[in-house]
């Protein structure tokens, strides 16, 4: 569902105010009140509201968001930032609200998305197949250049050790991400399961496919025994579900995975892409009330510190991950003969070379 952002921004009255308050539900009350007061006191907000009441004749920029918690939660988290972006680029912005990676991917394929917050494989496909360009990459407060995929289990026996998981995966119920999810599927499959001769899709007693939040809750509530997750989402989960977190433990963590990117359709003029990049890089950097309010918005977005300028080359690690997974899947699959396997491997190598070529385009 596409939800247009009101040009007057997140601090307009009625439903938008309700969205803003819901968006800060996870932030302590004193900080919520401070953010609300800071934004309401900004002189630019009232002026922007007064000058933007007339409808725009320009088509909205359609922004797609990964469903990290849920469709409504993801949308409301981004609403304040996107309303400010709309004013910065002088164009309306609408939000694509979806419940799954697959739904967002299909929307991108149908050209229903002009700009998006994507990670790993989805960002890679958007750039190499759907005429998108990277303009920015997120930065988190921990200062690390990425995050880690995790496997979660309950602390209590019997399903609570890696040894048991590796020896008898067919007795375990798994809750995992969609195949497009880097930390929910690709990295655990590549770095943990396949090296131990376990295929996530076929070796477990049952499976749940959902968001990181859904999957963690499934394990905590004994609806699954092991779940994929990531370090950023699990930190957010700890704040929102402290009782359930007490039942969980981290069984395994991956190498660092690069952070998500913001991509914009190539058909937009370079000037607009540059304005988007400039807005994102400067968001939350200013001193004073506006900067304080923007930093609170970023904190609600997975504890982000902000954005840095980036280009297509930032997706090279994601391309390498996808390449390694495809080769490993090909090597472990059943083939009618060696020639068929070799042909598949050659196609994988050729596709990877094409991707690397596209990612060398670092023009604005």
- The pLDDT of residue 56 is 40
- The pLDDT of residue 303 is 77
What does the alpha-carbon distance between residue 216 and residue 151 come to, in Å, rounded to a whole number? 10
Cα 247 to chain centroid distance, Å, stands at: 26
What does the alpha-carbon distance between residue 219 and residue 250 come to, in Å, rounded to a whole number? 12
- The pLDDT of residue 162 is 96
For the chain, give the mean pLDDT.
Answer: 84
What does the alpha-carbon distance between residue 166 and residue 196 come to, in Å, rounded to a whole number? 7
What does the alpha-carbon distance between residue 126 and residue 27 come to, in Å, rounded to a whole number? 33
What does the alpha-carbon distance between residue 192 and residue 44 come to, in Å, rounded to a whole number? 51
Mean pLDDT across the stretch 190-219? 94
What does the alpha-carbon distance between residue 278 and residue 275 come to, in Å, rounded to a whole number? 5
What percent of the chain stands above pLDDT 70? 82
| Model confidence band, residue 5 (pLDDT cutoffs 50, 70, 90) | very low
Rg (CA), the chain: 22
Residue 269 near residue 364, CB atoms below 8 Å: no
pLDDT exceeds 60 at position 18: no
Residue 267 near residue 253, CB atoms below 8 Å: no
| Residue showing tokens 């990676």 | 101
pLDDT exceeds 70 at position 38: no
What does the alpha-carbon distance between residue 327 and residue 189 come to, in Å, rounded to a whole number? 12
- The pLDDT of residue 22 is 46
pLDDT exceeds 90 at position 208: yes
What percent of the chain stands above pLDDT 90? 63
- The pLDDT of residue 52 is 38
What does the alpha-carbon distance between residue 275 and residue 88 come to, in Å, rounded to a whole number? 8
- The pLDDT of residue 100 is 85
Q: How many helices (H) and strands (E) does the chain have?
A: 15, 12
- The pLDDT of residue 174 is 98
- The pLDDT of residue 59 is 87
Of 46-60, 114-128, 190-204, 210-224, the range with the lowest mean pLDDT is 46-60
Interaxial angle between packed helices 120-129 and 316-332, expressed in degrees from 0 to 180 and rounded to the nearest 10: 100
Q: What is the pLDDT of residues 108-164, one digit of tens each?
A: 999 999 999 998 889 999 999 999 999 999 998 877 778 999 999 999 999 999 999
Residue 222 near residue 155, CB atoms below 8 Å: no
The 3-state DSSP class for residue 90 equals: coil
To which H or E segment does residue 74 belong? helix 71-89
Q: What is the pLDDT of residues 67-105, one digit of tens each?
A: 665 555 567 889 999 999 999 999 999 998 788 888 999
Closest CA to 346 of 354, 320, 127: 354
- The pLDDT of residue 209 is 96
Q: What is the pLDDT of residues 255-300, one digit of tens each?
A: 989 899 999 999 999 999 999 999 999 999 999 999 999 999 998 8
Q: What is the pLDDT of residues 292-344, one digit of tens each?
A: 999 999 988 877 899 999 999 999 999 998 899 899 889 888 899 999 999 99
Question: How far apart, in Å, are the Cα atoms of 202 and each of 34, 173, 199, 335?
Answer: 50, 11, 6, 18
pLDDT exceeds 50 at position 29: no
- The pLDDT of residue 17 is 42
Side-chain half-sphere exposure of 301, counting CA atoms within 13 A: 27
For 265, phi then psi, to 5°, come to -60, 140
What does the alpha-carbon distance between residue 262 and residue 273 come to, in Å, rounded to a whole number? 11
List, in order, residues 6 or more apart from 304 with CB less than 8 Å away.
138, 139, 140, 141, 284, 298
- The pLDDT of residue 91 is 93
């Amino acid at each position: 569902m596409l939800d247009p952002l009101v040009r007057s921004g997140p601090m307009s009255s009625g439903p938008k105010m309700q969205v803003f308050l819901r968006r800060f539900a996870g932030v302590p009350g004193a900080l919520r009140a401070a953010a609300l007061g800071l934004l309401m006191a900004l002189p630019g907000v009232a002026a922007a509201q007064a000058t933007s009441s007339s409808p725009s004749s320009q088509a909205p920029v359609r922004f797609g968001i990964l469903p990290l918690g849920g469709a409504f939660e993801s949308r409301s988290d981004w609403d304040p930032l996107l309303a400010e972006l709309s004013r910065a680029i002088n164009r309306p912005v609408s939000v694509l609200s979806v419940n799954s990676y697959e739904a967002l991917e299909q929307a991108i394929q149908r050209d229903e998305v002009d700009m998006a917050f994507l990670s790993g494989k989805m960002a890679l496909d958007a750039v190499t197949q759907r005429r998108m360009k990277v303009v920015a990459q997120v930065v988190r407060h921990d200062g690390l250049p990425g995050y880690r995929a995790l496997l979660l289990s309950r602390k209590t026996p019997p399903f609570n050790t890696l040894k048991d998981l590796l020896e008898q995966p067919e007795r375990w119920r798994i809750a995992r991400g969609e195949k497009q999810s880097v930390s929910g599927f690709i990295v655990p499959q590549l770095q943990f399961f396949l090296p131990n001769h376990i295929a996530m899709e076929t070796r477990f007693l049952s499976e749940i496919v959902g968001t990181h939040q859904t999957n963690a809750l499934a394990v905590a509530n004994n609806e699954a025994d092991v779940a994929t997750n990531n370090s950023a989402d699990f930190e957010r989960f700890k704040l929102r579900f402290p009782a359930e977190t007490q039942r969980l433990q981290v069984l395994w963590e991956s190498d660092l995975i690069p952070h998500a990117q913001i991509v914009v359709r190539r058909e937009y003029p370079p000037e607009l892409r540059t304005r988007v990049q400039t807005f994102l890089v400067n968001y939350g950097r200013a001193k004073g009330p506006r900067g304080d309010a923007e930093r609170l918005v970023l904190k609600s977005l997975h504890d982000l510190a902000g954005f840095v300028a980036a280009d297509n080359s930032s997706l090279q690690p994601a391309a390498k991950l996808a390449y390694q997974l495809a080769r490993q899947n090909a090597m472990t699959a059943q083939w009618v003969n060696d020639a068929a396997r070799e042909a598949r491997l050659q196609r994988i190598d050729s596709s990877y070379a094409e991707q690397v070529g596209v990612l060398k385009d670092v023009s604005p």
